[in-house]
Every structure is written in structure tokens, then in C-alpha cells.
Structure 1
Amino acid sequence: MSSEEKQFHCEGCGVKLQSESPDHLGYAPPSAFEREYILCKRCYRIRHYGEIASISQNPDEYLKKLGEIANTDSLVVQVIDLFDFSGSWIPGIHRHIGKNPLLILANKTDLFPKLTKWGRVREWIYALAKDLGMKPLDVVLTSAVKGTKMEEAIAAIEHHRRGKDVYIVGTTNAGKSTFINRLIRDLEGSFEDVITTSPYPGTTLDMIRIPLDDGKSLIDTPGIVRSDRLSEWMTPEELKVVVPADTVKPRGYQLQDQQTIFLGGMIRIDYVKGERQSFVCYTSNPLYIHRTKSENADRIAGEQRGKLLVPPADPSRLPAWVKHDIHLNGQEKQDIVISGLGWISTGSEKATIRVWAPKGVQVTTRKAII
């Protein structure tokens, strides 16, 4: 009987395994099928050599798999990238999970400054979830990478699942697989990851079922792709600059109108009109930020994108810039959010801002989170 007939799946990413075509997805050499834990060639090279390979993804197929949850009686845990809440929320999740209850794990708290008021952040998440059509059972703030609040997360899952299966869902790179690995290590005292993780979107390719002691399962699902995030357009090397890996150090600029800041060569922000006020950038620490007079911005963009202003190294890979005119209300501090990159916290003065971003990338405003 061949490996395909036995329906073997990769322990790391869930993809169906095959031993006939080394250049196709799911390949594992025949000798690998003799092992207790089988990894596909791609997962093996990610784990042992740190290789990151882009793959062709089918967002509709992943949504179809997500929609299967509606036919189950389960607890659904949505892992949110707290640093990119709007970009890591699954649109229409209430339709995909049916009547199953939802628990929110707000991941990546380690990226936030130490003075963050977490009680306020938690209330903010509840309010946003309500606006998006969901009333979660609970919200747990955690960091899967650092292991922060893991006991609280485990307790919440066990309390709310009530003997049911648990589906872990989220968008690509929200931290689902990292969370599951940390959960397994904490429960079993293991030091080895079960699920393959990498900084590149789309590492988990199919459902991965992990048995629980009571006969039920914890199921890791493929990350839902959102092309309206800037990070989805980056190469693996560029993601190391764009996606924060450490606690973000806010960078503040006192801007007057007719000044411009560039976030690498990805985003241009023009302060069109308003009183002098602060603009604090919450983005990855390695990301280069350049300030200039707006009268020089066109020239600098034309000459320096892909050179001084990086990433991207090749601006032609991104969709053309489109403008987003934003009017600050002057009543409270607001955040200008660029999905998949971070946000800029403004002062509380009335102002007109023009953001230039690749077409299709989500640019929004919200009440300041910090």
C-alpha cells in the first residue's frame, strides 16, 4: 500500500504526504514513512535549516475548511495578533463558526511597551469584537513566544470547552501554531515543537489534530490569508524588518503641516494641514523611517524607494500607491492603522493627513490604544 493510500499527513503542517514527486507539496522520502513522526520535506528544511519557502495558497480553500467548523459542536479559539488586530481578525467569523462559542486569545503582548494599560486594552477588544458581530466568552491577553499568561489561557480553554473539541483559528502569522506548541510544551513538559512555525504566511497547510486526554482533540487550522495586509506583500527577508520580533520602541516626531514621513518605501504620510503635534510610530524597530518636507517628497520617493527607502527592495512588486485622506477630529488622540505594519499615534489637534499606501492595503483610524 502506498503512502498516499494510507493517507499519511505531515506532523508539522498537516499536508497530505507523498513520496513520488520531490518538487511537489507534501513530499517525504520513502525512509521518512518508517518514523513515528513524519515531516514533509518543506517542514524538515524549515526546522533544521531555517529555510523559508513561499508557496501558492488558495484562500477560498482555507475558508471552506474554516466553514466546516459550523457543523461541529466545539469551542472555537481565535488567536488575534494584538499588534495588528484589524488585520488579523477573520472577516465574517460568525458565519464560519455557526453557533459555536468563541474565545479570543490576544497574542503578542510582548511587543507592547511596559506601561501599556492592559485593562483598557481588554475592554477595547471586547468593544471591537462586538462591533464586528461577535460576543466572545472571554478575552485572554497572552504572548505565545514568551509564555506570558499561558496558565490563564489553558484554564480558560479547559473551562469553556466543556469536554468538546477545540478549534484554533486565525489569520496567517497571528501565532496559532506558536501558541499550540507552547501549550503542548507547558502541559507535557516537552521542549520540542510539534507544529512547524515560520515567519512566512501559510506554514500550516491543513487541519492538524492533536489528541486530548479525554478523547477529544485540539485542532490547528490553516491560517486565513488577508491580502489587505501589507505584510502579505513582503518577501521572507523583508518580513524580518516589517514584522516586529521584539518589544516595539515608539519613535516620536513633532510634525508641522507640509512635512512628510516615509515608513521604508512602503508608506508615505503627508501632514497636509494642522497645528504642530506629535506623531508616534509603533512599527518594527529595524524599519527605517525618513522625515522630510512635503515639497521634496515626490522627488525622494522617485529616487530612493528601493534604495534608502526600504523595504521593499523592488517597489514594482507592490500595487501602486493610492491616497487615503484622514481628518483628525481634534477631540482625542487617534491611531492611524496600516494593516500588517503597525500604527501611528497622533496628537489631539484637528488635522488633515494624507496616507499613501499600496492599493488594497487597509488604512483605518481608531481611538488611541495606548
Structure 2
Amino acid sequence: MQATISRCAGCGVALQTSEPNRPGYLPESAAAREPVICQRCFRIKNYNDASSVAIDQDDFLRLLGGIAATNSLVVHIVDLFDFEGSLISGLQRFVGNNPVLLVVNKIDLLPRVTNWNRLRNWVQKLARSSGLKVADVVLCSAKRNIGFDRVVSTIGDMRGDRDVYVVGATNVGKSTLVNRLISDYSDLGRELTVSRYPGTTLDAVHIPLDDGRSIIDTPGIVYKSRMSEIIPRDSLQAVLPDKPLKPITYQLNAEQTLFFGGLARFDFVEGERQSFTVYSSGSLKIHRTKLERADELYANHKGELLSPPSKDYLDEMPSWTRHRLRIQPGENLDVFVSGLGWIQANGKTGAVLDIHAPKGVKVLLRDAML
């Protein structure tokens, strides 16, 4: 690419031709067009597609660092299926006195009989325990357009004369919300054809609104602690649910094991016979075996019976780490594995569990969601 082509005329980001998933990507074949804009802005301009570009955590935190000095509404979108994995840790220290609206997406994955008030209280409690003060919580499904009108109207009510920062991890539905806000509040196409957005920072797109304020669409942050970020792309379909979850309950004795494909392993080490309910993608195959046979089964069948990942990608996956978890008698808890789902412990007599998951993937105990 010619050295004279350095910045996108649409968003101002530095242009590059080598990394399609990084900000500023421009196919070499497009370098001659006028004006010269990155692939992201091209898609916004021509397809109204404000899909996010991933940046690493350090770049993202530098971007968040300027929010406290602004007068803004911060809209944080999280994935209900991967709540702890998609919640931006430490967000509170960056937002200053600006209000935070927590938008919880993908509620369509839960059973219809879900107590939504209880779920909302659960979300608020977990947000508080993570140090995040939220002005309001809105539950929605961007895919099914459930509660989305309320999201948009709540943003309209809360923002007043503020700008709107939209933040979130990758694959949480952020682009769907930004597109809806563009449709309702902005003449994006006209602005893009005239000039680059005013006030654009290196890794964000400022979308002018009709009242002179802006939506600041920040790139999706990549958390390597999420299973969905470290597995091969061709395995995502098996891990990420696209239809309502169908919980499966297993009656287990101590020293029994559940394999989640070849991605994780759940060992019931000690405790009285009890049931565990699995909430994971219906496309992910679960295999039950005795604990004493688990190592042998994995060694002989990983990448085949126990997949994903397939054999072709086994060497690319991080090695497993064991997490020892203890559930005390009377506790109602979930075992959460980021990006894979959760297992609700239904027994009231306590249990000792070992969870084996790729190194770095977030594994924890939490209050039961349902």
C-alpha cells in the first residue's frame, strides 16, 4: 500500500492491509478508491453494518480512560449466556460520574417460564459484586427483537444532552444496537459521504446524532478468558447457542465425570448422589463416564468422540487447568465456565468438584441464575 495512504477518511483510524480483524483494515484492492476508507467504514456506508473490530485489552483500556472527562451515558452490553465473561472488569473506574446503562442481551436463550424480575435482581447483584454501579438494567434479545424498543427508549430518556458511549466485548450484540441507534437518531450515510466523523479517536467511531451529540461506537474487546475467543472458528457453532437452551439434568454419584466435547471436563469428586443441570449449547455433545476412566477416555478419543476441537486443532488449544470447587451444604450455586455455559448444582448436601478447562478460561462458582 502506498505510504501516502495513512488514515481512514471515515473514522480516522490508521490504515493497514495485513490484519482483517484489527482496526483500519483496508484490502489492497481498495486502496485506489476515493475517498480511502477502511473496510469497517465501507460496510457502515454501504450496508449500514456497524460491526465491531476487536482490539486488545490494553488498547481498549486506554480508550476507556477518556470517558470520565466527558459528559456521557455509558451503555454496556453483556451476553447473558456468558455474563461474567463479557462484563468489562474495572469499568467503573473509567466512567467517572457518568451513568451506566447495563443492557443484558440474549434473554431468548432462557426458558419462557423464567422469572424475569428475579433475573433482573440477579444481574444487579452480580454487577454490584463486580464493582459496577448501574443506573438501570434492561433485558433484551437483539436477535429476536425482544425488549429492544425499551433499550432504545431508555437510552433516549437517559442520555438527555449527553453523548452515548457503547461498550462491550466481542459477539455480545453491540453492532445490532448501534445500527438501531443509527437508524433512529442519525443520518449516518450523509455524514460519511461528506467527511470523517468529528472528534474520532484512534479506535472508536463517532456517529453524529441529529441533535449535535454523538454515539461513540467502541471496538469490541477480546477477552481470552472466554472459551469462545480461544477455540477454532469452525467450533463456534457447537459452543454458541442460537436457540433456547434445553437444560439437561444428570443424576450423578461421586466419582463420575461429564465431558463437554473435548473442551472441558466436570468431575463430581465427593458428595452424596445428587443432580446437576447443564445449560449449554444443544450442539455440544456431553459424554458421561467414571472418574477412574476419564484420563484414558480423553487420551484415546480427544478430537474424535470428544470434540470439538477436531484433531486438526488440538495443538492450538491451551493445555487444561484443574479448578477445585467446593459447594457447601444448602448453597444454591452455578458452576460457570466462560463461553461454554453453566452447571447448576441442585443438591443441598454439598459437593467437591474439579473442573478442567483450557488455561486462562474463567471458571467460577456463582449464585444460581435460575
Structure 1 match to 2:347:
348
The answer to whether the Cα contact below 8 Å between 1:76 and 1:103 also exists between their aligned partners in 2 is yes
CA–CA distance in structure 2, aligned partners of residues 76 and 187 of structure 1:
17
Structure 2 match to 1:217:
214
- Deviations for 1:143-189, whole angstroms, at most 9, x for unmatched residues? 11111111211111111111110000011222211222244446689
Q: How many residues align?
A: 343
Q: How is 1:224-303 mapped onto 2 (pairs within 5 angstroms)?
A: 224-303=221-300
The answer to whether the Cα contact below 8 Å between 1:26 and 1:42 also exists between their aligned partners in 2 is no
CA–CA distance in structure 1, aligned partners of residues 178 and 162 of structure 2:
17
CA–CA distance in structure 2, aligned partners of residues 23 and 189 of structure 1:
30
The answer to whether the Cα contact below 8 Å between 2:55 and 2:220 also exists between their aligned partners in 1 is no
Q: Structure 1 residue 58 and structure 2 residue 56: aligned?
A: yes
CA–CA distance in structure 2, aligned partners of residues 291 and 15 of structure 1:
50
User: Are the structure 2 counterparts of residues 42 and 274 from structure 1 closer, same or farther at C-alpha, using a change threshold of 3 Å?
Assistant: farther
Letter matched to residue 274 of structure 2: Q
Structure 2 match to 1:308:
305
Q: TM-score under structure 2 normalisation?
A: 0.84
Letter matched to residue 151 of structure 1: D
Letter matched to residue 68 of structure 2: A
- Which stretch shows the higher mean deviation, 25-34 or 145-154? 25-34
Q: 1:136 aligns with which of 134, 137, 143?
A: 134
Letter matched to residue 78 of structure 2: I
User: What is the DSSP-based 3-state SS (H/G/I as helix, E as strand, rest coil) of the residue aligned with 1:121?
Assistant: helix
Structure 2 match to 1:98:
96
Aligned identity (percent) is 43
Structure 1 match to 2:34:
33
Structure 2 match to 1:335:
334
User: Are the structure 2 counterparts of residues 309 and 43 from structure 1 closer, same or farther at C-alpha, using a change threshold of 3 Å?
Assistant: farther
- Deviations for 1:267-312, whole angstroms, at most 9, x for unmatched residues? 1111111122111111111011111111111111101111111112
Q: Structure 1 residue 319 and structure 2 residue 314: aligned?
A: no
Q: Structure 1 residue 362 and structure 2 residue 359: aligned?
A: no
Structure 1 match to 2:199:
none
User: Are the structure 2 counterparts of residues 6 and 366 from structure 1 closer, same or farther at C-alpha, using a change threshold of 3 Å?
Assistant: closer
Q: TM-score under structure 1 normalisation?
A: 0.84
- Deviations for 1:114-136, whole angstroms, at most 9, x for unmatched residues? 11111001011111121122221
CA–CA distance in structure 1, aligned partners of residues 245 and 104 of structure 2:
17
Structure 2 match to 1:199:
none
RMSD between aligned residues:
2.9
CA–CA distance in structure 1, aligned partners of residues 233 and 280 of structure 2:
17
The answer to whether the Cα contact below 8 Å between 1:269 and 1:353 also exists between their aligned partners in 2 is yes
The answer to whether the Cα contact below 8 Å between 1:334 and 1:348 also exists between their aligned partners in 2 is no
- Which stretch shows the higher mean deviation, 308-317 or 78-87? 308-317
Q: How is 1:103-118 mapped onto 2 (pairs within 5 angstroms)?
A: 103-118=101-116
Shift of 1:3: 7.7
Structure 2 match to 1:74:
72
Structure 2 match to 1:181:
179
User: Are the structure 2 counterparts of residues 354 and 134 from structure 1 closer, same or farther at C-alpha, using a change threshold of 3 Å?
Assistant: same
Letter matched to residue 355 of structure 1: I
> Any unmatched runs of 5+ in structure 1?
195-204
The answer to whether the Cα contact below 8 Å between 2:105 and 2:139 also exists between their aligned partners in 1 is yes
User: What is the DSSP-based 3-state SS (H/G/I as helix, E as strand, rest coil) of the residue aligned with 2:145?
Assistant: coil
User: What is the DSSP-based 3-state SS (H/G/I as helix, E as strand, rest coil) of the residue aligned with 1:95?
Assistant: helix
User: Are the structure 2 counterparts of residues 115 and 65 from structure 1 closer, same or farther at C-alpha, using a change threshold of 3 Å?
Assistant: same
CA–CA distance in structure 2, aligned partners of residues 134 and 41 of structure 1:
31
Shift of 1:212: 1.3
Shift of 1:41: 8.2
Shift of 1:73: 1.1
CA–CA distance in structure 2, aligned partners of residues 206 and 70 of structure 1:
17
Q: Structure 1 residue 127 and structure 2 residue 120: aligned?
A: no
> Any unmatched runs of 5+ in structure 2?
193-201
CA–CA distance in structure 1, aligned partners of residues 252 and 170 of structure 2:
35
User: What is the DSSP-based 3-state SS (H/G/I as helix, E as strand, rest coil) of the residue aligned with 1:33?
Assistant: coil
Structure 2 match to 1:197:
none
The answer to whether the Cα contact below 8 Å between 1:252 and 1:281 also exists between their aligned partners in 2 is yes
- Deviations for 1:73-92, whole angstroms, at most 9, x for unmatched residues? 10101001111111111111
- Deviations for 1:177-209, whole angstroms, at most 9, x for unmatched residues? 12222444466899xxx9xxxxxxxxxx93122
Shift of 1:15: 4.8
Structure 2 match to 1:163:
161
